[in-house]
Copies of this chain bind each other. A is one copy, B any other.
Amino acid sequence: MPESPPPLADRFSLDGHIGFLLRRAHQRHAAIFLDAAADVGLTPTQFAALARTVELGRVTQNLLGRLVAMDPATIQGVVRRLTARGLIARTHDPLDRRTAVLAPTAAGLALVDAAVACARRAHDTALAPLSDEERRTLIALLQKMV
Protein backbone atom coordinates (compact mmCIF):
# COMPACT_ATOMS: atom_id res chain seq x y z
CA MET A 1 0.00 0.00 0.00
CA PRO A 2 1.36 3.48 -0.85
CA GLU A 3 2.25 5.67 2.07
CA SER A 4 0.41 8.96 2.15
CA PRO A 5 2.82 11.91 2.33
CA PRO A 6 2.95 13.89 5.58
CA PRO A 7 0.74 16.98 5.53
CA LEU A 8 2.29 20.17 4.23
CA ALA A 9 1.97 21.86 7.61
CA ASP A 10 4.44 19.32 9.01
CA ARG A 11 6.95 20.11 6.29
CA PHE A 12 6.63 23.87 5.94
CA SER A 13 5.27 26.72 8.01
CA LEU A 14 4.21 29.79 6.07
CA ASP A 15 4.10 31.74 9.33
CA GLY A 16 7.83 31.14 9.87
CA HIS A 17 8.73 32.12 6.31
CA ILE A 18 10.70 35.36 6.23
CA GLY A 19 8.98 36.56 3.07
CA PHE A 20 5.52 36.12 4.52
CA LEU A 21 6.52 37.87 7.73
CA LEU A 22 8.16 40.77 5.89
CA ARG A 23 5.11 41.17 3.69
CA ARG A 24 2.77 41.32 6.66
CA ALA A 25 5.02 43.62 8.68
CA HIS A 26 5.41 45.96 5.72
CA GLN A 27 1.67 45.89 5.13
CA ARG A 28 0.97 46.70 8.75
CA HIS A 29 3.36 49.65 8.80
CA ALA A 30 1.93 51.00 5.57
CA ALA A 31 -1.59 50.94 7.00
CA ILE A 32 -0.41 52.65 10.20
CA PHE A 33 1.53 55.26 8.22
CA LEU A 34 -1.38 56.07 5.93
CA ASP A 35 -3.54 56.61 8.99
CA ALA A 36 -0.95 58.73 10.79
CA ALA A 37 -0.17 60.78 7.68
CA ALA A 38 -3.77 61.15 6.49
CA ASP A 39 -3.67 64.90 7.14
CA VAL A 40 -0.49 65.47 5.14
CA GLY A 41 -1.72 63.11 2.42
CA LEU A 42 1.52 61.26 1.77
CA THR A 43 2.09 57.55 1.19
CA PRO A 44 5.17 55.92 2.76
CA THR A 45 6.77 55.84 -0.68
CA GLN A 46 6.06 59.49 -1.38
CA PHE A 47 7.34 60.42 2.07
CA ALA A 48 10.61 58.58 1.48
CA ALA A 49 11.15 60.33 -1.83
CA LEU A 50 10.27 63.75 -0.42
CA ALA A 51 12.38 63.32 2.72
CA ARG A 52 15.38 62.23 0.69
CA THR A 53 14.95 65.14 -1.70
CA VAL A 54 14.84 67.57 1.22
CA GLU A 55 17.93 65.91 2.71
CA LEU A 56 19.85 66.41 -0.51
CA GLY A 57 18.43 69.73 -1.67
CA ARG A 58 19.18 68.93 -5.30
CA VAL A 59 19.30 65.48 -6.88
CA THR A 60 18.66 63.88 -10.22
CA GLN A 61 15.60 61.68 -10.51
CA ASN A 62 17.66 58.59 -11.23
CA LEU A 63 19.96 59.07 -8.23
CA LEU A 64 16.99 59.78 -6.00
CA GLY A 65 15.47 56.51 -7.13
CA ARG A 66 18.61 54.63 -6.15
CA LEU A 67 18.76 56.36 -2.77
CA VAL A 68 15.21 55.36 -1.92
CA ALA A 69 15.42 51.92 -3.56
CA MET A 70 12.99 52.60 -6.39
CA ASP A 71 13.12 51.46 -9.98
CA PRO A 72 13.40 54.20 -12.63
CA ALA A 73 9.85 53.28 -13.64
CA THR A 74 8.66 53.58 -10.04
CA ILE A 75 10.40 56.81 -9.10
CA GLN A 76 9.00 58.37 -12.26
CA GLY A 77 5.43 57.94 -11.05
CA VAL A 78 6.23 59.00 -7.49
CA VAL A 79 8.00 62.16 -8.67
CA ARG A 80 5.14 62.91 -11.06
CA ARG A 81 2.64 62.84 -8.19
CA LEU A 82 4.88 64.91 -5.91
CA THR A 83 5.43 67.55 -8.59
CA ALA A 84 1.70 67.56 -9.37
CA ARG A 85 1.13 68.47 -5.71
CA GLY A 86 3.78 71.17 -5.90
CA LEU A 87 6.03 69.60 -3.28
CA ILE A 88 9.10 69.22 -5.49
CA ALA A 89 10.19 71.04 -8.63
CA ARG A 90 11.73 69.59 -11.77
CA THR A 91 14.40 71.47 -13.67
CA HIS A 92 16.97 70.41 -16.22
CA ASP A 93 20.73 70.45 -16.17
CA PRO A 94 21.89 72.31 -19.29
CA LEU A 95 25.13 70.31 -19.16
CA ASP A 96 23.28 66.97 -19.24
CA ARG A 97 19.97 67.21 -20.97
CA ARG A 98 19.09 63.61 -20.14
CA THR A 99 18.63 64.22 -16.43
CA ALA A 100 15.72 65.65 -14.48
CA VAL A 101 17.01 67.66 -11.55
CA LEU A 102 14.71 67.69 -8.54
CA ALA A 103 14.55 70.08 -5.60
CA PRO A 104 11.99 70.61 -2.85
CA THR A 105 9.67 73.60 -3.20
CA ALA A 106 8.78 75.92 -0.34
CA ALA A 107 5.59 73.89 0.10
CA GLY A 108 7.63 70.71 0.19
CA LEU A 109 9.96 72.12 2.81
CA ALA A 110 6.98 73.33 4.81
CA LEU A 111 5.26 69.93 4.64
CA VAL A 112 8.24 67.76 5.45
CA ASP A 113 8.31 68.73 9.11
CA ALA A 114 4.74 67.61 9.69
CA ALA A 115 5.41 64.52 7.60
CA VAL A 116 8.44 63.61 9.73
CA ALA A 117 6.27 63.89 12.83
CA CYS A 118 3.76 61.52 11.22
CA ALA A 119 6.54 59.12 10.28
CA ARG A 120 7.79 59.11 13.87
CA ARG A 121 4.31 58.33 15.14
CA ALA A 122 3.92 55.53 12.58
CA HIS A 123 7.35 54.18 13.55
CA ASP A 124 6.41 54.06 17.24
CA THR A 125 2.95 52.65 16.63
CA ALA A 126 4.22 49.92 14.33
CA LEU A 127 6.87 48.96 16.88
CA ALA A 128 4.50 49.24 19.85
CA PRO A 129 4.52 45.47 20.57
CA LEU A 130 8.30 45.55 21.06
CA SER A 131 10.43 46.87 23.90
CA ASP A 132 13.05 49.53 23.25
CA GLU A 133 15.75 46.88 23.27
CA GLU A 134 13.80 44.70 20.83
CA ARG A 135 13.20 47.67 18.54
CA ARG A 136 16.91 48.41 18.34
CA THR A 137 17.63 44.74 17.67
CA LEU A 138 15.00 44.49 14.93
CA ILE A 139 16.22 47.64 13.20
CA ALA A 140 19.85 46.51 13.40
CA LEU A 141 18.99 43.09 11.95
CA LEU A 142 16.96 44.60 9.11
CA GLN A 143 19.80 47.01 8.33
CA LYS A 144 22.20 44.07 8.28
CA MET A 145 19.89 42.12 6.01
CA VAL A 146 19.25 44.67 3.25
Contact = CB atoms under 8 A, between A and B. Distances in A.
Interface of A: 7-9, 11-12, 14-30, 33, 44-45, 48, 51-52, 54-55, 68-69, 112, 116, 119-120, 122-123, 126-127, 129-130, 134-135, 137-139, 141-146
B26 A22 contact: yes
Nearest to A112: B8
A141 B137 contact: yes
B51 A14 contact: yes
A12 B12 CA distance: 40
Contact of A12 (B9, B119, B137, B141): B119
Contacts of A8: 51, 54-55, 112, 116
Contacts of A54: 8
